[in-house]
Structure 1
Amino acid sequence: LENVMKIDSQDVILARLNDAGFTHCRIWFRCLNWISILATS
């Protein structure tokens, strides 16, 4: 799985969303190592 599932940090994911044009990004839910993000433009 190491070569298949590349895990990015939370900061990298939020930066990608900002680069994609989303202006407001917020962590909506966090449980163990999973997060849900609400992003609006």
Structure 2
Amino acid sequence: MIGRKPFGNISIANSDSGGSAYVDAAIVQADRAVNELL
């Protein structure tokens, strides 16, 4: 998805892209965004 692509050293977690309304989906998306920067 274009909304998930990093831009320089900025990465968007976009917890809505997890497709679930639960905290664990937001945590997974945050983890993905951080790992994209590492």
Q: Structure 1 length as normaliser, TM-score?
A: 0.33
Question: Does 1 or 2 have the higher relative contact order (CA < 8 Å, sep 6+)?
Answer: 2
**Structure that is richer in helix per residue:** 2
